[in-house]
Amino acid sequence: MSRPTRVVSARLLWVAAFLVLVLLVVPWTIEAAGRTDLYYTLTSVALLSIASAGVWLTFYIGRINIGQGAYALAGGYTSAILVTQHGVSFWLTLPAAGLACAALSVLIGLPILRLRGVYFAMITLVLTEVARLTALALPITRGAKGIVSIPLPGEVALFGVTIIPDFAGLANVKLGFYYLAAILMILCFAGLWRLVNSRLGRLCRSLQQNEELASSIGVNIAYLRIVIYAISSFLGGIGGAVFVAISQSIYPSSFQVKDSIDFMLNCFLGGLGYVFGPMLGTLILYFGWDLLFETGRFQLLIYASLIIALILLLPNGLLSIRLPRHRRGGT
Amino acid sequence: MEQVLANGVYLGAQYALIALGLTLIFALMNVLNFAHGQLYVLGGFVTYTIYGQLGLPYVVALLASAVSLAIVGAALQGFLFGPVIRRSQREESTMLLAAGIAFLLDAVILLLFGEKQRGVPKIVDGVLNWDFRVIMPYDRILICALAIAFVAAFILYMQYSRTGRALRALAQDRIAAELMGVDVSRYSMIGFALGAMLAGIVGGLLVTITGVNLGMGGPTSIKAFLMVMIGGAGVISGAIAGGFILGMMESIGLSVLSQYGDVTYLVIFASLMVFLAIRPQGLMGKPWG
């Protein structure tokens, strides 16, 4: 067997092992152990890692994005409003939520993607807060009351054959949502991996290293930035929409500044150099936070101290790639 | 209309003081201090404890807020930001650290002071009523005047003192300053302490009017970011301009847009986006290359 074939088959083996783990081993283990509460935790991890993947993608073009909460909120509201007020099927609102967020992000991205470094970080953080205030102010989102008792996703049938069963009729709704989130996560990261290893991915890396140089060689940086930001926001919208379907409710405070910062922390912790970094980071941070629940009122203190200690001990350890463009000192 | 302008000046003065601290830290260290709002809340709680609980004079409490926050700021720089900046190659890791510190301070405040809204007795009684055109309680006027005085004192200090000159040199060009004999690590610490002290002073001033609670930190940081974006990051005059502009816009927005619901910040953000599309570096910031 020649070497490239071996690499490909080894990779396929890893993917197959991962699929078996996520789709068969994990549900089986949970059933065997009787810890059905873990379904919700793992579903959340899967969905948050989709949104974090979007943040990771904007890191990939050299932008620190702390505004993903805004798009998760926008996606959630799009889905909720379409389902409750227009009677659209959840399965149609899912892509609609993603596309609405992508369209919104093009509009917002046009001016703000010209900013860099901390400036972009600041404006996206403000964006999260503005999204919350908008949801509070607009009549269609029903303000602080939020949108509640959203019906569960219905049945999808093609030529009389049920493809996706009605979630309301499922014996185990948690398992249903777990599969939904896990499959979406797999699709998302497969797409992300494909994107990073394509021509577009190389162009993104050139942007991350030096925008002026990339531009002078002939890369259309303005167009590329918008496309990547739109994809990133699309993922945020999808994550938010599924989250709303699970909790069957959405409030302006469903996604706020803390969530946006968490998305960013997930990416940092998992490693910015690896496509699957956001998945790992979300898993560790979410489970870490859950495990610390036992410590009661010291939960936040220990969590924050651990994050700080991690940064102090490994300032470059988990962050494997470098951005030589950023100089320190002066503006 | 006079009332709206008076409210704008009152808000602007405190906002400018908050933005000054943030922009000072940013100019010196290139650190985006996410924890600035939490420092402000901490300052408020110190004043609450000393003036509200122990009953000592307000001046003592304000002084204690300033001093304790300066110590916190110096400690943050000395033990956390300094080592990380020295060892890490990426400016993002300081941002991550700042986010971690914001969580940590939230946790500390929660454990020490609880999550209840706290207020203190008024420092001055009475209301100024100018022909029903401007109505403003005396304590607000006093706080506003104090805030403006602190802004002026800060500018004078930065302009004329030896420390201020060194700090400005550091902000302008770190390496050149070091070559001219400025002790960079010492002045970084002083700068951080000064920035945190400003946050503490605002906290101490505002606790007398709005009170203080744990949840105020995050929104305050966000407002400070807005002001810095308007005025231009790392520029002192920009922070003051940004503070007064945001205060004025908030005051005008609240009175003009009130019939459409609470959309003031949406409008402010939308106009900021248009403004940034034309001028990404803010009013007085230097364009980056």
Q: What is the pLDDT of residue A143?
A: 75
Q: Is residue B258 part of a domain?
A: no
Residues in chain B: 289
Report CB contact under 8 Å: A118, B95.
Answer: yes
Report the candidate in B108, B104, B147 with the shortest Cα–Cα distance to residue B18: B147
pLDDT at A3: 62
Instruction: Please indicate, yes or no, if residue B83 is contained in any of the structural domains.
Output: yes
A296 touches chain B (CB under 8 A): no
How far, in Å, are B2, B128, B147, B256, B287 from residue B132 at the CA level? Answer: 10, 9, 25, 19, 46
Contact B225 A125 (CB under 8 A): yes
Percent of chain B beyond pLDDT 70? 97
State pLDDT tens for residues B142-175: 888 999 999 999 999 988 999 888 888 888 888 8
Quote the pLDDT of residue B5.
86
> How many structural domains does chain B have?
1
B246 belongs to a structural domain? no
B76 touches B91 (CB < 8 A): no
Task: Specify the 3-state DSSP secondary structure of B90.
Answer: coil
Q: Which of A118, A137, A303 sits opposite B103 (nearest CB)?
A: A303
Q: Determine the pLDDT at residue A321.
A: 43
Query: Which chain A residues have a beta carbon less than 8 Å from that of B84?
Result: 311-312, 315
Q: Given CB atoms, is A318 within the 8 Å cutoff of chain B?
A: no
> A149 and B255 in contact (C-beta within 8 Å)?
no
Contact B18, B243 (CB under 8 A): yes
Nearest Cα residue in chain A from B93: A315
If contacts are CB pairs under 8 Å, which of residues 115-144 in chain A contact chain B? 115-119, 121-123, 125-127, 129-130, 133-134, 136-139
Q: pLDDT of B17-31, one tens digit each?
A: 999 989 888 888 888
Chain B residues within an 8 Å CB radius of A285: none
Q: Degrees (nearest 5) of the Cα angle B215, B219, B222?
A: 150
Mind telling me how many Å the CA of A37 is from chain B's nearest CA? 27
Q: Is residue B55 included in any domain, yes or no?
A: yes
Q: Give me the tens of pLDDT residue by residue for chain B, a chain 289 residues long.
A: 778 888 888 889 889 999 998 988 888 888 888 889 999 999 999 999 998 888 888 889 899 999 999 999 999 998 888 888 887 766 677 888 888 899 899 889 988 888 888 878 877 777 777 777 777 888 888 888 999 999 999 999 988 999 888 888 888 888 888 888 888 888 889 999 999 999 999 999 888 888 888 888 888 888 888 888 888 877 888 888 999 999 988 888 888 877 776 778 788 888 887 887 788 777 877 654 3
Contact B218 A110 (CB under 8 A): no
**Residue of chain A whose Cα is closest to the Cα of B225:** A122
- What domains appear along chain A, each with residue ranges and CATH number? 39-313 (1.10.3470)
Interface residue A226 vs chain B (CB under 8 A): no
Please tell me whether residue B137 adopts helix, strand or coil conformation.
strand
Q: Which of A58, A63, A66, A118 to mutate to test the interface with B (most CBs of B within 10 A)?
A: A118
Within a domain: residue B289?
no
Give a yes or no: residue B257 inside a domain: no
Angle between helices A221-247 and A173-196 (to 10 degrees): 170
- Looking at CA atoms only, how far is residue B93 from chain A in angstroms? 7
Residue B227 falls within a domain, yes or no?
no
Question: Is residue B243 a part of any domain in this protein?
Answer: no
- The ipTM (two decimal places) reads 0.78
Which one of B110, B225, B286 has the shortest CB-CB distance to A122? B225
**Nearest alpha carbon to residue A279 among A13, A53, A105:** A53
Minimal CA–CA distance to B33: which of B267, B192, B252, B140? Answer: B192
Sites in chain A below the pLDDT cut of 50: 317, 319-331
Which structural domain, as residue segments, surrounds residue B56? Answer: 2-215
